[in-house]
Structure 1
């Protein structure tokens, strides 16, 4: 990557060793974005906080705990699909592909893809994109298990990381977006995001995306409101992050976690409910807000899909479907696509 591109994208390069480096926007860029977005979202008639801000270090750790819960089926179901697609998947990729991951987290599922690549790649290149600092920790752990793994991490939003990849070089990319994070987008924003990914792809790039499927209401609501209260901690942690990073004075005891499945819109809706009328100051966003008793702050949508909707969505956003893998219960889908020309 040229220094011109690096500087124009406002990134700083950190070299850990010969096989691990990462790029990070300067802190002022990240803080300004967080403050600006919170200032906008908490002054709307229906207040909200973007789910991308869940994933600071503590938030990422809490999400890993959620993934181990008996009620939370998406992670174990997707892992099961990944474990079973090895032979089928290998026919679509070869030694010339680099792995690019959106939202790497702790890389549990990433290892299953790396195992496939490791069978025929002497040197594996891996570019994880994650807004959380956990990326550097998980990268170091991965390298202990894969001696031929060369990692270039990008600590940024998905959009920022995709722009970085677009301008990096001409190598073929296998872009993966695992989990059900795509469901966080409202439909129109989801289409825009897929078109964004499409616009960064070369003709021989591939994109693998995980999508949660429509199922019964009880299973869905239990998955997002677990009996141990871990999801509640995860939801409330976004207020802790605003307190810590933007000098706010949210009292977490004044809020509760609230999740429901909207069958008409095929989505889980997650909120923070204000238990009392209260006044909150967010210093670095230059913002003061008043919350009524029982007022909701929306924190996440998690849309669920039918197979027919997945096929239509990919067609509308410029992709050709190579393969769709499902689990035995049809709870979850992994869809591999290429860019249509």
Structure 2
């Protein structure tokens, strides 16, 4: 088991010593953060989940066929960041209906989310063979390299947009590295659209996204002995249609000091200084093809919702 607290402490030390200060959205997803994100996905402003659901409902059989090995035989369906698996269950049902022999290997950093997912699968799909892994992506990618047989890797929900462009390319190359020619990737991409709709999706009227962002400070208080006063922080987000980037921040509303006992260090924050916490990039279909090619991958098939808001893209290595 990875030492999450140790990795978190190192990350916070490095991130808060930078200018501008930054923390990774990867650490949003403790058990509380995962629960808040489940609420976000149901918000009226948050279109990506509904759009991807519609793709799975309309194209589920075609997706299952595109991910299954053409030569037949057993394979593993590995999902990075499985969450509650709601969309994936549609795909799992299609694979089971087709009589495909496979193992579902969900990966999530939240033990609570994984426990809930495995229990729901046991009740809803008792015939399914499940091999869960509570892990971060880096550990899961290492495990992928040692997994025998054919595999299809899922990375859904526009999570690919959370990476900085350089890190995104590196991540895709790491995903591509263990793939055999018959293996497949299925990645969800949020597509560029009305900038106002995009911004609203990350700054909802009910304040759930703000609570999700601020929960990161609550986690640091709990796990690292920090003394962030949440009353002195606020959530802010904006969207730049020139580069397709949503950027989210935690804003210090007062000049203040924050002590982090695990680091034995005190950090100074000026009034209105920000901590950059998340990127969420939006793409065009052409950009997706160019990104795939740069990572040593090719687009096999693309599935979009009726409104063209979202794309689930099946990828493979460049050589059959």
TM-score by length of 1: 0.89
Equivalent pairs counted in the alignment come to 314
Task: Say what the alpha-carbon RMSD is for the aligned residues.
Answer: 1.3
The correspondence of residues 13-28 of structure 1 with structure 2, limited to 5 A, is: 25-26=1-2
1:130 to 108, 129, 136: 108
Equivalents in 2 of 1:229, 1:173: separation in Å?
39
**Where does the alignment leave 5 or more consecutive residues of structure 1 unmatched?**
1-24
Per-residue CA deviation, residues 198-220 of structure 1 (Å, 9 max, x unaligned), is 01222221100000011111101
Is 1:124–1:148's contact at 8 Å kept on the other side of the alignment?
Answer: no
Deviation at 1:195, TM superposition (A): 0.2
* Counterpart in the other structure of 1:12: none
Which secondary structure does the structure 1 equivalent of 2:303 belong to? Answer: strand
Moved over 4 A (4+): none
Structure 2 gap ranges (5+): none
Match of 2:90 in 1: 112
Deviation of 1:296 after TM superposition, in Å, equals: 0.7
Q: Is the contact between residue 173 and residue 296 of structure 2 (CA under 8 Å) also seen in structure 1?
A: yes
Could you report, residue by residue, the CA deviation over 1:195-246 in whole angstroms, capped at 9, with x for unpaired residues?
A: 0000122222110000001111110111000000000000000000111111
Which whole-Å deviations, capped at 9, do the CAs of 1:50-104 have from their partners, x for residues lacking one?
A: 0000000000000000000000000000000111112322432155221100000
Q: What SS class does the counterpart of residue 334 from structure 1 fall into?
A: strand
CA distance in 1, matches of 2:108, 2:53: 20
Distance, in Å, in 2 between the alignment partners of 1:123 and 1:311 is 31
**Cα separation, 2, equivalents of 1:244 and 1:140:** 28
User: 2:74 touches 2:101 (CA, 8 Å); kept in 1?
Assistant: no
What are the residue-to-residue correspondences of 1:264-275 with 2, within 5 Å? 264-275=242-253
In the alignment, what sits opposite 2:52? 78
- Identify the match of residue 240 of structure 1 among 218, 222, 242: 218
Q: TM-score, normalised by structure 2?
A: 0.95
Equivalence for 1:7: none
Asked if structure 2 preserves the Cα contact closer than 8 Å seen for 1:95 and 1:117, the reply is no
Structure 2 distance, partners of 1:302, 1:91, is 30
Select 2:35's aligned residue among 28, 36, 61. Answer: 61
Q: Answer yes or no: is the 8 Å Cα contact 2:245–2:280 preserved in 1.
A: yes
